[in-house]
């Protein structure tokens, strides 16, 4: 493959993940979509190779990514085996369990039974001996938190995972889980949550709770699944866009108020000589509590555009003020319609 270290780390700017010893790149590559059995293997391979060559050392997976579930891990495992094996020690590979993966009571949730057998299956698909980060993907109210914590700690003690994290946990539960994991000697180093200009919930206390607790934050869907890009400012949605191809981004999300926000944000982006996607990414990265933004990319051109933004000048106070005003306008319209 891929060029020797030359260039890969020149952009630098790695961020320390909470109070851990692990650093992550500002932009990480997620394989939730675009890496299923229906997607082009060669495009996926090109995206992963490009990402690594440009310093994206962190790849984010989950047992259920595909479709079908498991397909993204299997695809990535094949690319690891053929292209990236010599670089394993330069990479942070994360996976998760917490959503439905196989039939019956042991294929979903947060039990010890599910989490550890799912991790074993992930390792087989990935063709790896260990993952760097193993996450519980979402809270499971039916399983005692201590059992889930015990399973995560066991993943570390058994050498199947180097670090553990949680995802989609509300702030108080996240802190409770972090305390349990700390006591078990497997600190929770990272919380993964949705965060973008269209989903600003993490600003309402979550990030403020994580930082003092020494927990890093991986912001997923920083482009709101692509909604925060110029393609949705066109009169008609392009046929290759996620909104036209996937049920995860229904057309109802593109309301007139959202369209107005996109136009206002695009004006700020244009003044900086950037695309709306680049502005959206930089907005997520403006907070030091955000360790990394976990993006998706369908093409190498999209990935290049985002990675170019990660090394651009940060947003100024004036630009942040314009963005806040545009978002306040959206919030106002949302509450009055």
* Segment lying near ligand NDP (by CB under 6 A), choices 19-27, 31-39, 81-89, 125-133: 31-39
Instruction: State yes or no: residue 30 binds ligand NDP (CB under 6 A).
Output: yes
Instruction: State yes or no: residue 224 binds ligand NDP (CB under 6 A).
Output: yes
* 3-class SS letters over the chain: CCCCCCCCCCCCCCEECCCCCCEECCEEEECCCCCCCCCCHHHHHHHHHHHHHCCCCEEECCCCCCCCCCHHHHHHHHHHHHHHHHHHHHCEEEEEECCCCCCCCCCCCCCHHHHHHHHHHHHHHHCCCCEEEEEECCCCCCCCHHHHHHHHHHHHHCCCEEEEEEECCCHHHHHHHHHHHHHCCCCEEEEEEECECCECHHHCCHHHHHCCCCCEEEEECCCHHHCCCHHHHCCCCCCCCHHHHCCCCCHHHCCHHHHHHHHHHHHHHHHCCCCHHHHHHHHHHCCCCCCEEEECCCCHHHHHHHHHHHCCCCCCHHHHHHHHHHHHHHHHHHHCC
Instruction: State yes or no: residue 33 binds ligand NDP (CB under 6 A).
Output: yes
Q: Which is nearer to ligand NDP, 177 or 223 (CB)?
A: 223
Instruction: State yes or no: residue 269 binds ligand NDP (CB under 6 A).
Output: no
Taking the complex as a whole, the smallest distance from the CB of residue 218 to ligand NDP amounts, in Å, to 8
Q: Which is nearer to ligand NDP, 143 or 274 (CB)?
A: 274
Instruction: State yes or no: residue 34 binds ligand NDP (CB under 6 A).
Output: yes
Instruction: State yes or no: residue 292 binds ligand NDP (CB under 6 A).
Output: no
Taking the complex as a whole, the smallest distance from the CB of residue 289 to ligand NDP amounts, in Å, to 17
Taking the complex as a whole, the smallest distance from the CB of residue 245 to ligand NDP amounts, in Å, to 7
Taking the complex as a whole, the smallest distance from the CB of residue 314 to ligand NDP amounts, in Å, to 19
Taking the complex as a whole, the smallest distance from the CB of residue 59 to ligand NDP amounts, in Å, to 8
Binding-site size, ligand NDP (CB under 6 A): 30
Instruction: State yes or no: residue 295 binds ligand NDP (CB under 6 A).
Output: yes
Q: Taking CB under 6 A as the rule, which mask of x and - marks residues 53-82 in contact with ligand NDP?
A: -------x----------------------
Residues that bind ligand NDP (CB under 6 A): 30-34, 60, 137, 167-168, 192, 220-226, 229, 231, 241-242, 277, 294-298, 302, 305-306
């Amino acid at each position: 493959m891929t060029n020797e270290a030359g260039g890969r780390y020149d952009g630098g700017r790695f961020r320390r993940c909470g109070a851990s010893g692990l650093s992550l790149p500002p932009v990480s590559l997620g394989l939730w979509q675009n890496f299923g059995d229906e997607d082009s293997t060669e495009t996926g391979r090109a995206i992963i190779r490009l990402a690594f060559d440009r310093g994206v050392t962190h790849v984010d997976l989950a047992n259920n990514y595909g479709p079908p579930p498991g397909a993204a891990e299997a695809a990535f495992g094949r690319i690891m085996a053929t292209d990236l094996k010599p670089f394993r020690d330069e990479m942070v590979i994360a996976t998760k369990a917490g959503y439905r993966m196989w039939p019956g009571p042991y294929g979903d949730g947060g039990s010890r039974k599910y989490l550890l057998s799912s991790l074993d299956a992930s390792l087989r698909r990935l063709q790896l001996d260990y993952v760097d980060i193993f996450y519980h993907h979402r809270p499971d109210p039916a399983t005692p938190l201590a059992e889930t914590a015990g399973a995560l700690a066991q993943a570390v003690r058994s050498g199947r995972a180097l670090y553990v994290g949680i995802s989609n946990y509300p702030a108080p539960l996240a802190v409770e889980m972090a305390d349990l994991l700390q006591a078990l000697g497997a600190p929770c180093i990272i919380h993964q949550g949705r965060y973008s200009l269209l989903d600003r919930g993490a600003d309402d206390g979550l990030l403020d709770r994580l930082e003092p607790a020494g927990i890093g934050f991986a912001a997923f869907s920083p482009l709101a699944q692509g909604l925060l890009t110029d393609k949705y400012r066109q009169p008609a949605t392009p046929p290759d866009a996620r909104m036209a191809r996937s049920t995860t981004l229904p057309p109802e999300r593109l309301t007139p108020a959202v369209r107005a926000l996109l136009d206002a944000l695009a004006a700020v982006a244009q003044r900086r000589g950037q695309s709306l996607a680049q502005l959206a990414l930089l907005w997520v990265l403006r907070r030091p509590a955000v360790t990394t933004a976990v993006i998706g990319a369908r093409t190498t051109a999209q990935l290049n555009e985002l990675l170019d933004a990660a090394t651009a000048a940060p947003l100024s106070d004036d630009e942040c003020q314009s963005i806040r005003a545009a978002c306040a306008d959206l919030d106002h319209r949302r509450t009055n319609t």
